[in-house]
Copies of this chain bind each other. A is one copy, B any other.
């Protein structure tokens, strides 16, 4: 081959300009439930929200930004992201996954800083205490559409848009819905969670499809009580609904049949 990069020649760190930092930024989604004021029990309104922090200092002081911070040499990026998130939300056992890197020159006025974006999915209940304490403070949940219309710090608007696209795809093709649901849930809840993330989702016969056909291959299964009787819930309706849970089965999708 022609000239090789530094990796193929004698290496001396001081000869090269090196990055000024490798932060992890976390797009933390949750789905909030708000009770509707109806005559009787009803399903709540569910809305996809994203956690933002108001910056205190340069650059972008005053602007809202994604939580995150610089990673350390002694940790992986994933460990770094988990640490930062725990510092922000006080919650450790969240679903968190690497997602993409952002490296456009000039994206951070502090220098050459490549940001590593993570997506975290959190049960609303884990944030409950935090919200009470910090409401109207410098850490808040915003509805996703609202966040996407805001002037955020850095390229965080683009990061959120990419993260949203990714979880929309994953919501339809994997079982990440479980990250937003209790262990046992009703079909109505599952349907709502899918719709909160993918508004265009509409399946007239949803219960029929999920409880026959593919479900025979076991994405979800009915919950039974100790006597082997179907376990029901009437949280949301007069008529009790069957409770389900996700199994470990992950269907392999294919466009080729």
Interface positions of A (Cβ within 8 A of B): 1-11, 13, 16-23, 53, 55-59, 65, 68-78, 84, 87-88, 98, 100-101, 103-105, 110-112, 114, 116, 134, 138-139, 172-175, 194, 201, 203, 205-206, 209-210, 213-214, 219, 251-257
Q: Are the C-beta atoms of B103 and A11 separated by less than 8 Å?
A: no
- State A57–B138 Cα separation when bound (angstroms): 50
Question: What CA separation (Å) do A5 and B70 show in the bound complex?
Answer: 7
- With beta carbons under 8 angstroms apart, the residue of B19, B65, B209 that contacts A21 is B19
Q: Is A173 within 8 A of B87, CB to CB?
A: no
Given A17-B73, A18-B18, A175-B255, 16 extra CB contacts under 8 A: A4-B56, A6-B21, A6-B70, A7-B23, A8-B69, A10-B57, A13-B20, A16-B21, A19-B73, A22-B22, A22-B114, A71-B103, A75-B105, A98-B101, A114-B116, A210-B257
Contact partners of A172 in chain B: CB under 8 A: 252-256
Knowing A22-B114, A103-B77, the reply to whether A68 touches B5 (Cβ < 8 A) is: yes
A-B contact pairs, 14 of them (CB 8 A): A1-B134, A5-B70, A9-B56, A11-B110, A13-B21, A19-B19, A22-B22, A74-B105, A101-B116, A173-B254, A173-B255, A175-B255, A201-B256, A206-B257
Give Cα distance in the complex from A203 to B210, angstroms. Answer: 25
Check B87 against A2 for contact (C-beta < 8 Å): yes
What is the bound-complex CA distance between A53 and B257, given in angstroms?
A: 38
Tell whether A69 pairs with B7 under 8 Å between CB atoms, given A19-B18, A101-B116.
yes
Shortest A133–chain B CB gap in Å is: 10
Report the minimal beta-carbon distance from A197 to chain B, rounded to whole angstroms. Answer: 12
A7 to B88, CA, bound (A): 13
Whole-angstrom distance between the Cβ of A122 and the nearest chain B Cβ = 15
Which B residues lie within 8 Å of A214 (CB)?
A: 255, 257
